[in-house]
Amino acid sequence: MTASLRRTLVRDVMTTRVVSVPPEADFDEVALVLTRNAVRAVPVLEGSRLLGVVSEADLMRTAEFGDPAASYERFRRADPARPATARALMSSAVVTVRPDASVAEAARRMREHGVGWLAVTEIHGAAEHVVGVLGRTDVLTVFLRDDAELRAEIVDGVLRPVLAEDADVVSVEVERGVVTLSGRLPRSGRARLATALVARLEGVVAVRGDLVDDRDGQLTEPAAGPRS
């Protein structure tokens, strides 16, 4: 029996204490929530229903009107109805993720949208309800794995299923998430395949070593850690 590979889900690492503001919160209240909690954005919630998000950038667009050095012409052209509540300030385009999504998928979504956190939501009826938030720090927890646990997963979950009896010739060392593979495999193409698969595991920072295909004598190239 082969070991199952670990696949951390968003629900496993998300923060369930959600810092948020109601839609009627005024400018000062939103600014206070951001500064007190050292966050750059907060979801706007009506109960647990997600309406939008207010960011530092949204506040700055309103705050800049208070510049006494700005020209009269600029004020004359400015919209007199400046947003003063979270509902008026917020953007309704919120990047979300489901709690049963993988952390790798969430990290990919963060990168694609250029955001530092995601609202974790579930659909109830026709509305999206927030059940947590996921930040970059939460995503990075997947790398905090015990070296012995990670080595066991590499050997039993990857090398033995893929290489069968050839797995016994591979030496595996793990130190702080950095994996060193070495040995000579009798069948061509196996070294590169094994290295690539190990590099995709949760918690692997990098793969190094000199795992060789004996027939062609080519060394595997060092592999980066898992990509989202």
Joined tokens for residue 173: 């060392």
Contact predicate 56/39, CB 8 Å: no
Bridge partners (DSSP) of residue 21 are 44
CA–CA distances in Å: residue 98 to residues 14, 18, 109, 120: 11, 15, 11, 6
Per-residue pLDDT of the chain (228 residues; tens, 9 = 90+): 445 688 899 999 999 999 999 999 999 999 999 999 988 889 999 998 999 999 888 888 776 665 555 545 554 555 555 678 999 999 888 899 999 999 989 999 999 998 888 999 999 887 889 999 999 889 988 888 899 999 999 999 999 999 999 999 999 999 999 999 999 999 888 999 999 999 999 999 999 999 998 865 444 444 555 554
Among candidates 142, 180, 205, which has minimal Cα distance to 5?
142
pLDDT attached to residue 20: 94
Contact predicate 69/57, CB 8 Å: no
How far, rounded to the nearest angstrom, does the alpha carbon of residue 59 sit from its chain's CA centroid? 25
- Residue 60 CA to residue 139 CA, distance in Å, equals 28
